Amino acid sequence: MLNKVTPAVYYLSNDDSKERPTLGLVCGDKFSLIIDSGNSVQHAQDFLKEIEALNVPPVKYLVVTHGHWDHILGMNEFGATIIVNSLTNQILEEWQNYSFDDESLQKYVESNKMSSKCMEIIKNEIPFRDSFKLNAADIIFEKSLTIDLGNKLCVLETIKSTHSDDSTIVYVPDDKVLFLGDSAYGTTTNSLFHYKQSLLLPMIEEIQKYDTTSFILGHESLCDVEEMNLYWKELISTSKARDSTSLDRAIECFERENNRTPNSNEDFFLKAFVNDQIIRSQQS
Ligand SMILES: [Zn+2]
């Protein structure tokens, strides 16, 4: 079942056991728009089945929030106009050259172009994959693009994100809904999970500009304003304890500034900011 956020906005919940992200649906009077295509043919088909049951205007557009495999591999299934920013398009162009037979997949995993989880999902959830080719995008935008679905605007904006360099967010002003994709998450570099410290505050500021009551996140589904504010607060307070490549020192610093021990989220974030220091010290 799709979750209804407002009469015009729905989403399919994420499913972590299958590495399936949240997928969004916005309906205007004339057309519908999809946000992210799913991690496979099967994921996209499952979503389509739910959309058909709703009896909404035809799906005309598909926006991909960023070029990670779990958001793009269902793309071919919707017969929709595919919209991406120019950086995501560069990633899609690489994927268009990929082959999906066993031997090729194995090669991509060995050369770190693909995770073994990704290979497993492709093998299980993309039928006829020997002849599978990912479609090309139809509309490529730079900074922002507004789509009119018939009395329903969707505003697509690129954002400098702590997760990927090519993030797009989708805002539905009438409904005060903001689809964040994975943009508010951290990322993994050299097997270390980290939040890009330098991008955190500008990103939060950018996201807070939108008058929003419902945030939809790529792997958490729905968050209200209070939950998002708590998330930002924990990220900001842990990022301040960052100036060290030692986790012990970061925890000490956090405890001194906050007069308490970090909770489990804050522990996780502290580790991620220390990792960011480690990565930056390796790069300099
Ligand atoms: Zn991602």
Mean pLDDT by 10 residues, the chain (284 residues): 97 97 98 98 98 96 98 98 98 97 97 95 95 96 98 98 97 98 95 93 97 97 95 94 83 93 96 92 82
Q: Do 270 and 254 meet the contact criterion of CB atoms below 8 Å apart? A: yes
Between the CA of 190 and the centroid of ligand 1 the distance, in Å, is 16
Between the CA of 252 and the centroid of ligand 1 the distance, in Å, is 31
Between the CA of 70 and the centroid of ligand 1 the distance, in Å, is 7
Between the CA of 112 and the centroid of ligand 1 the distance, in Å, is 16
Between the CA of 173 and the centroid of ligand 1 the distance, in Å, is 24
Q: In the CATH hierarchy, which fold is given to the domain comprising 3-98+134-191+213-224?
A: Metallo-beta-lactamase; Chain A (3.60.15)
**DSSP-based three-state secondary structure for 37:** coil
Between the CA of 164 and the centroid of ligand 1 the distance, in Å, is 7
Between the CA of 68 and the centroid of ligand 1 the distance, in Å, is 5
How much is the pLDDT for 282?
Answer: 86
Between the CA of 166 and the centroid of ligand 1 the distance, in Å, is 10
Between the CA of 246 and the centroid of ligand 1 the distance, in Å, is 27
Between the CA of 260 and the centroid of ligand 1 the distance, in Å, is 33
Between the CA of 258 and the centroid of ligand 1 the distance, in Å, is 31
How much is the pLDDT for 95?
Answer: 97
Strands of the sheet containing 23-27, edge to edge, are 3-6, 9-12, 23-27, 32-35, 59-63, 81-85, 139-141
Q: Where exactly does CATH 3.60.15.10 map onto the chain?
A: 3-98+134-191+213-224
Q: Alpha-carbon distance 33 to 194, whole Å?
A: 32
How much is the pLDDT for 242?
Answer: 67
Between the CA of 186 and the centroid of ligand 1 the distance, in Å, is 9
Residues 6+ apart with CB under 8 A from 19: 39, 70, 117, 118, 121
Q: Alpha-carbon distance 144 to 159, whole Å?
A: 10
Between the CA of 30 and the centroid of ligand 1 the distance, in Å, is 30
Q: Alpha-carbon distance 137 to 214, whole Å?
A: 28
